[in-house]
Amino acid sequence: MRKLLFALVATIFSFSAMAGGHAEWWKNAGAPYAGTTLQGIAENTPPGQFAGDVLAKEFEALTGIKVRLENTSWDQMYDKAIKDMEANSGIYDFVYIEQDIVYDYLNRDFLVNITEGLANNPDLQAPGVSLDDFTTFIDYFKDGSGDVFGVPMEAFIKVYLYRKDLFGRADAKAQFRAQYGYGLTPATSFDQWRDNAEFFTHFCAEQGMECWGTTVQGHTGHPASTYEFLESIAPSFGLYNWGVNMDSYQSCVENGGQLNGGRAKAALNFWTQLLPFAPPEALQSTWSEVGSSFAAGRAAQGWVYGENAAWIATDAEKSAVVGKVGVMLPPTAPGVMTQAASGNGYIGYFDGGAYGIPHSSKNIEATMLWLQFVAMNDHQADWAIAGGRITHKDTYADPKVMAVDEQADGYFSLMRDTGFLYAGAPPFPFHGAGRGAIDPFIYSALAGEMTPEEALDGACQALDQVMADLGYQD
Amino acid sequence: MFSNNKKGWLLLSPTIFILIIVGLVPFFYVLYVGFFKWNPLAVDPSMQFEGFGFNYRRLIFDGVFLESIWRSIKFSVVTLTLELSLGFLLALSLLSSFPFKKFFRGVHTLPLVIAPIVVGSIFKLFTVQGLGPLPHLLKDYFGYTLNYGMNADQAFWMIVIMDIWHWTPFVTLTLLAGLSALPQDPYESAKIDGANNFQIFVYITIPMMVPVLIVVIFIRLMDSLKIVDEVWMLTGGGPGYATRFTGIHIWKEVFEKRYYGLGSAMSILYLYITIVICWILYSVMVSRGKSED
| Chain B residues within 8 A of A472 when measuring between CB atoms | 43
pLDDT at residue B5, rounded to an integer: 83
Counting every residue written for chain B, the total comes to 293
Q: What is the mean pLDDT of residues B2-14?
A: 83
Residue A9 has pLDDT above 50, yes or no: no
B193 CB neighbour count, 10 Å cutoff: 8
> Would you call A281 and B42 a contact, using CB atoms and an 8 Å cutoff?
no
pLDDT at residue A307, rounded to an integer: 84
In a domain? residue B72: yes
The candidate with the shortest Cα–Cα distance to B91, out of B172, B145, B181, B153, is B172
Residue A161 backbone phi and psi in degrees, to 5: -105, 140
Out of B41, B151, B236, whose CB is closest to A433? B41
In a domain? residue B36: no
Chain B positions contacting chain A at CB under 8 Å are 39-45, 64, 124, 128-131, 135, 147, 149-152, 235-244, 252-253, 255-259
A467 touches chain B (CB under 8 A): no
Q: What separation in angstroms does the CA of A140 have from each of A93, A99, A252, B101, B132?
A: 21, 7, 28, 64, 40
Residue A260 to residue A456: CA distance in whole angstroms: 5
User: At CB < 8 A and 24+ separation, what contacts does B110-114 make?
Assistant: B110/B169, B111/B165, B111/B166, B111/B167, B111/B169, B112/B166, B112/B167, B112/B169, B112/B170, B112/B173, B114/B166
| Chain A residues within 8 A of B41 when measuring between CB atoms | 104, 107, 429-433, 470
Q: What is the pLDDT of residues B226-242, one digit of tens each?
A: 999 999 999 999 898 99
Among chain B residues, the shortest Cα distance to A473 is held by B43
pLDDT at residue B293, rounded to an integer: 58
pLDDT at residue A19, rounded to an integer: 60
pLDDT at residue A386, rounded to an integer: 87
A323 CB neighbour count, 10 Å cutoff: 13
A449 touches chain B (CB under 8 A): yes
| Chain A residues within 8 A of B136 when measuring between CB atoms | none
Residue A370 to residue A153: CA distance in whole angstroms: 12
Q: How far is B127 from chain A (nearest CA, A)?
A: 10
What percentage of chain A carries pLDDT values higher than 90? Answer: 82
Residue B88 has pLDDT above 90, yes or no: yes
Domain A2-154+352-408 identical in fold to domain A157-349: yes
Q: Does domain A2-154+352-408 have CATH number 3.40.50.720?
A: no
Among chain B residues, the shortest Cα distance to A212 is held by B130
Residue A271 backbone phi and psi in degrees, to 5: -65, -45
The answer to whether A451 touches A260, Cβ cutoff 8 Å, is no
| Chain B residues within 8 A of A469 when measuring between CB atoms | 39, 42
Residue B150 to residue B156: CA distance in whole angstroms: 11
Residue of A283, A294, A463, A472 best to disrupt the B interface, most CBs of B under 10 A: A283
Residue B192 to residue B184: CA distance in whole angstroms: 13
In a domain? residue B285: yes
Q: What is the pLDDT of residues B198-229, one digit of tens each?
A: 999 999 999 999 889 989 998 999 999 999 99
A3 CB neighbour count, 10 Å cutoff: 7
Q: What is the pLDDT of residues A90-111, one digit of tens each?
A: 999 999 999 888 888 998 899 9
Number of domains in chain B: 1
Residue of A72, A100, A211, A284 best to disrupt the B interface, most CBs of B under 10 A: A284
A437 touches chain B (CB under 8 A): yes
> Would you call B240 and A449 a contact, using CB atoms and an 8 Å cutoff?
yes
Question: Of the given ranges (A70-79, A156-165, A202-211), which has the lowest mean pLDDT?
Answer: A70-79
> Would you call B238 and A471 a contact, using CB atoms and an 8 Å cutoff?
no
Out of B131, B147, B238, whose CB is closest to A221? B238
> Would you call A219 and B130 a contact, using CB atoms and an 8 Å cutoff?
no
| Chain B residues within 8 A of A281 when measuring between CB atoms | 128-131
The answer to whether A439 touches A226, Cβ cutoff 8 Å, is yes
Residue A115 to residue A126: CA distance in whole angstroms: 13
Residue A328 backbone phi and psi in degrees, to 5: -145, 170
- Biggest distance spanned by C-alpha atoms of chain A: 80
A446 touches chain B (CB under 8 A): yes
DSSP-derived secondary structure for A305-328: EHHHHHHHHH-TTT-S-TT-EEEE
The candidate with the shortest Cα–Cα distance to A316, out of A194, A219, A404, is A404
DSSP-derived secondary structure for A249-313: TB-SGGGT--TTSHHHHHHHHHHHTTGGGS-GGGGG--HHHHHHHHHTT-BSEEEEEHHHHHHHH
What percentage of chain B carries pLDDT values higher than 90? Answer: 77
**Mean pLDDT across chain A, nearest whole number?**
92
Q: How far is A401 from chain B (nearest CA, A)?
A: 34
A171 CB neighbour count, 10 Å cutoff: 10
Q: What is the mean pLDDT of residues B165-191?
A: 94
> Would you call B42 and A469 a contact, using CB atoms and an 8 Å cutoff?
yes
ipTM, 2 decimals? 0.86
Fold of A157-349: D-Maltodextrin-Binding Protein; domain 2 (3.40.190)
The answer to whether B154 touches A448, Cβ cutoff 8 Å, is no
What pLDDT band is residue A1 in, cutting at 50, 70 and 90? very low
Q: What is the pLDDT of residues A332-346, one digit of tens each?
A: 999 999 999 999 999
Among chain B residues, the shortest Cα distance to A224 is held by B236
Residue A261 to residue A243: CA distance in whole angstroms: 8
Q: How far is B38 from chain A (nearest CA, A)?
A: 9
Among chain B residues, the shortest Cα distance to A463 is held by B257
Residue of A216, A443, A466 best to disrupt the B interface, most CBs of B under 10 A: A443
The candidate with the shortest Cα–Cα distance to A406, out of A386, A385, A377, A378, is A385
A298 touches chain B (CB under 8 A): yes
A163 touches chain B (CB under 8 A): no
Among chain B residues, the shortest Cα distance to A281 is held by B129
A472 touches chain B (CB under 8 A): yes
Out of B152, B257, B258, whose CB is closest to A447? B152
A327 touches chain B (CB under 8 A): no
Q: CA dihedral defined by A261, A267, A268, A271, rounded to 10 degrees?
A: 180
Counting every residue written for chain A, the total comes to 474
Out of A282, A298, A436, whose CB is closest to B257? A436
What pLDDT band is residue B117 in, cutting at 50, 70 and 90? very high
Q: 3-class DSSP state for residue A157? A: strand
Out of B149, B235, B240, whose CB is closest to A440? B240
Residue A429 has pLDDT above 60, yes or no: yes
Among chain B residues, the shortest Cα distance to A76 is held by B255
Q: Is the peptide bond before A399 cis (omega within 30 degrees of 0)?
A: no
Among chain B residues, the shortest Cα distance to A448 is held by B150
| Chain A residues within 8 A of B238 when measuring between CB atoms | 219-222, 440, 443, 447
| Chain B residues within 8 A of A459 when measuring between CB atoms | none
Q: How far is B153 from chain A (nearest CA, A)?
A: 11
Residue A307 to residue A292: CA distance in whole angstroms: 12
DSSP-derived secondary structure for B221-233: HHHHHT--HHHHH
Q: What is the mean pLDDT of residues A371-389?
A: 92
Size of interface A-B (CB pairs under 8 A): 109
pLDDT at residue A4, rounded to an integer: 44
pLDDT at residue A31, rounded to an integer: 94
Q: How far is A366 from chain B (nearest CA, A)?
A: 30
Residue A181 has pLDDT above 90, yes or no: yes
Q: Which domain holds residue B230?
A: 63-254+273-292
DSSP-derived secondary structure for A44-111: -SHHHHHIIIIIHHHHHHHHS-EEEEEEE-HHHHHHHHHHHHHHT----SEEEEEGGGHHHHHHTT-B
In a domain? residue B17: no
Q: What is the pLDDT of residues B140-154, one digit of tens each?
A: 999 999 999 989 999
Residue A127 to residue A372: CA distance in whole angstroms: 10
Question: Which residues in A73-227 belong to E strands, given as ranges?
Answer: 94-98, 151-163
Q: 3-class DSSP state for residue A437? A: helix
When computed from its CA atoms, the radius of gyration of chain A, rounded to whole angstroms, is 23
Tell me, rounded to whole angstroms, the distance of Cα A10 from its chain centroid.
36
Structural domain boundaries in chain A: 2-154+352-408, 157-349
| Chain A residues within 8 A of B147 when measuring between CB atoms | 280, 283
Residue B122 belongs to domain with CATH number:
1.10.3720.10
Residue A1 to residue A45: CA distance in whole angstroms: 41
Q: What is the pLDDT of residues A233-291, one digit of tens each?
A: 999 999 999 999 999 999 999 999 999 999 999 999 999 999 999 999 999 999 989 99
pLDDT at residue B292, rounded to an integer: 58
Residue A49 identity (one-letter amino acid): Q
The candidate with the shortest Cα–Cα distance to A433, out of B95, B213, B165, B259, is B259
Paired sense of beta strands A350-356 and A37-43, if any: unpaired
Residue B124 to residue A448: CA distance in whole angstroms: 21
Q: What is the mean pLDDT of residues B107-120?
A: 92
| Chain A residues within 8 A of B244 when measuring between CB atoms | 440
pLDDT at residue A2, rounded to an integer: 52
Out of A283, A436, A471, whose CB is closest to B256? A436
